Structure 1
């Protein structure tokens, strides 16, 4: 269970470096990040405006050039991240009937358990095409979706306390910790775009986010080699930002915006992968990129001379969204002569609910 003392300690650590050793290793390693920059976020807590602005510039440049950054010294301790993976694993080990009792029901709610094969992420918005992809090449993953717990319309779906002790308490605290990091990154984005640092504050304070626990079960590697098959197909995310926590297995690939080739984004200890999503791209008139990415099979493990198994993988995605009633329209400084507005205004809820309806059965 994540105690209040630990939550307070984690929030306080936003002002200090909690992963300096891991981040130093990342900077000095030979890890190929496929052009995704590693940004040390510690200086964004500085009293020096110049240091905050330089960090903000690095974050924004990463989203402009690649759509992704690795964020180090982000303030969420490794201990809390590992506890999140532990609780997630405990949930997915429950019998299927107990998980199905919490089944996802409505895209407006976007809460509950999604069994393997029900979602097929894709860039397509054609219902027939999505149905074909789901039937021929389903995503090999199961998920648990958690939203803000005080919502008056939509309720989270929790396992029994006796089945996964401490699950609800921990996940609600983790949700809040992730929201607070999201707020700080959005402050950096505002500063990096030459806006007032608190520009987004009233547009993101509703916490209309989605905490997604993902489990990619071990699967025969041959099944992942079918045409169009992946653990999660190529897609962009729907909201403003995604905070992605990876385990050590790997499999995330990001499309290079120039070559259009997919390249690995390997796990780097002490960092979170953060990507810009569709609504941030709309907000910024594509100044900030919502980049295609997918999850593919990491190296397989041989079972015998004829078969191999791709190992189990866990990840946790915190899908950051603007307030559901916020109108997303082009930001200042992101349009002008020779650079017209590309997108009509849309509310967060309109866009996200439409995309969820398209991708779920």
Structure 2
């Protein structure tokens, strides 16, 4: 495997007054977006102690007995919140169901909220763990809620820099980020069996993300790889304490008329250790209309894609990946009395 991806950028200049340093950051981000859509940032405003607390909450949840985790299962709701068992998803065709388990949350909305009523991008109430002690439960909710809100702030900051890379005002994406939908995931990758077939076994299979941008926090265990199209190599992304791996999703690539890249990445945990990561997927306001961004096509050149809402652009991709895992299991499972039980697809 090759090394050296993605570059590590100091984001602190965005918050400073040095215009030359800001311009340098914008230029570095632009180069990354044109190359493979990935970069890492340090110098952000998310406190290190909050990051560490999130990993503590993640280890606390995943160490619960299986029956306790199952009480918060995403299979108990239709809006994609709660616990996901291992082998629930296939993102790379031709591979086995993925060796990860997850816990997914978002804005904790009541059932009478318009986003829940109208089924906007898996919006609704969170499925909080039931078997934590009262004090642990309170801390779990408090830490993850605070972190979720801080990640919204960081996503808005990153989008402001992305706007500048396209010679737009830093406020260009404000309407897109207003009342935005995002998903925070706690992910746990057990060590892959030493005798596993690396052509079939994945923590997460090769895929591109669905939304606008992703902000990923990793613990010290590696496994994330980014595809380098120019050479055909998979580049190892070494974890950097406190850093965020930032990548563009399919919707942003479409939005930029394919000027910027939504790139393949995967996780293969060959470390022999437990890997934890915390991605934050920022989709945006579900009713915002995505159409070709300014400065992303030549004069007189048509846009490659028709306009559509964020809901239309992002929704549906989730169902496809989960349907693939269900189909795999159905084919692999023995029939009982010639009956196979299917799982209801998740509504996004």
Post-superposition offset of 1:355: 0.3
| 1:222-280 alpha-carbon deviations (Å, 9 max, x no partner) | 12x25332111000111111111111110000000312321101112232111111111
Gaps of 5+ in 2: 117-123, 327-348
Residue 133 (structure 2) aligns with: 162
Residue 200 (structure 2) aligns with: 228
Pick from 200, 208, 213: which aligns with 2:181? Answer: 208
Mark the CA change 1:64 to 1:339 in structure 2 (over 3 Å): closer, same or farther.
farther
What is the rounded CA distance, in whole Å, between the counterparts of 2:164 and 2:76 in structure 1? Answer: 36
- Indicate the SS of the match to 2:175: helix
2:239 matches 1:267? yes
| 1:6-32 alpha-carbon deviations (Å, 9 max, x no partner) | xxxxxxxxxxxxxxxxxxxxxxxxxx8
- Whether the 8 Å contact between 1:108 and 1:353 is mirrored in structure 2 is no
Q: Which 4+ runs in 1 deviate beyond 6 A? A: none
Residue 146 (structure 2) aligns with: 173
Pick from 264, 287, 308: which aligns with 1:325? Answer: 287
What is the rounded CA distance, in whole Å, between the counterparts of 2:145 and 2:50 in structure 1? Answer: 13
2:59 matches 1:100? no
2:99 matches 1:140? yes
| Pairing 1:1-361 to 2, within 5 Å after superposition | 34-105=4-75, 109-122=79-92, 133=94, 137-150=96-109, 152=113, 153=116, 154-160=124-130, 161-162=132-133, 164-165=136-137, 166-223=139-196, 225-299=197-271, 310-337=272-299, 340-360=302-322, 361=326
What is the rounded CA distance, in whole Å, between the counterparts of 1:197 and 1:229 in structure 2? Answer: 42
| 1:180-216 alpha-carbon deviations (Å, 9 max, x no partner) | 0000000001011101110001111213000010001
- Whether the 8 Å contact between 2:202 and 2:267 is mirrored in structure 1 is yes
- Indicate the SS of the match to 1:269: coil
Report the number of matched residues: 308
Gaps of 5+ in 1: 1-31, 123-129, 300-309
Post-superposition offset of 1:314: 0.5
- Whether the 8 Å contact between 1:248 and 1:267 is mirrored in structure 2 is yes
Mark the CA change 1:284 to 1:258 in structure 2 (over 3 Å): closer, same or farther.
same
| 1:54-83 alpha-carbon deviations (Å, 9 max, x no partner) | 322222221211211110111222221111
What is the rounded CA distance, in whole Å, between the counterparts of 1:349 and 1:199 in structure 2? Answer: 20
- Whether the 8 Å contact between 2:204 and 2:266 is mirrored in structure 1 is yes
- Indicate the SS of the match to 2:55: helix
Mark the CA change 1:312 to 1:173 in structure 2 (over 3 Å): closer, same or farther.
same
Post-superposition offset of 1:35: 4.1
- Whether the 8 Å contact between 1:145 and 1:212 is mirrored in structure 2 is yes
What is the rounded CA distance, in whole Å, between the counterparts of 1:78 and 1:94 in structure 2? Answer: 25
CA RMSD across the alignment: 2.0
TM-score, normalised by the number of residues in structure 1:
0.80
Q: Which moved more, 1:104-113 or 1:77-86?
A: 104-113
TM-score, normalised by the number of residues in structure 2:
0.83
What is the rounded CA distance, in whole Å, between the counterparts of 1:64 and 1:87 in structure 2? Answer: 36
